[in-house]
Amino acid sequence: MFKNTKNRVAKILKIYSILNMIGGVIISRYLAFELPGNIAEGVSWVFFASVIVVSFLFFIIGEIVNLLAQIRDNTKASKNIDDDISIELPDL
């Protein structure tokens, strides 16, 4: 998952999303079992669903940052190759 990620921001976002998901699952289960009443189960499911959605969004943002960094690195490499080739246009 992180084998070819050179960007620190992308790594941090992905790790944060995974930790957020784990913490959210633990907290939602705590809410389900420790809060009294019937509404506690509904609150825990809403919390669980929102944590999962937000965690996936953070993971997706990390992937986008990683892809943008790879595009930037690849365009830098191709630009350096193009600088060596000089194209002369004829005078009109």
Q: What is the pLDDT of residue 57?
A: 96
Average pLDDT over residues 61-81: 82
Structure tokens, 35: 């809060």
Question: Using one digit for the tens of pLDDT, what is the confidence trace for 24-59?
Answer: 999 988 888 887 777 778 888 898 999 999 999 999
Could you tell me if residue 92 is inside a domain? Answer: no
In order of 6, 44, 68, the CA distances from 28 in angstroms are 33, 5, 34
Domain count, the chain: 1
Q: Could you tell me where the beta strands, DSSP code E, fall in the chain?
A: none
pTM of the model: 0.70
The answer on pLDDT for 1 being more than 60 is no
Could you tell me if residue 65 is inside a domain? Answer: yes
Could you tell me if residue 30 is inside a domain? Answer: yes
Residues 24/55, Cβ–Cβ less than 8 Å: yes
Q: What is the pLDDT of residue 31?
A: 82
Question: Using one digit for the tens of pLDDT, what is the confidence trace for 74-86?
Answer: 887 666 555 555 5
Residue 32 lies in domain? 8-77
Q: Which residue's entry shows tokens 């633990």?
A: 26
Structure tokens, 29: 């289960």
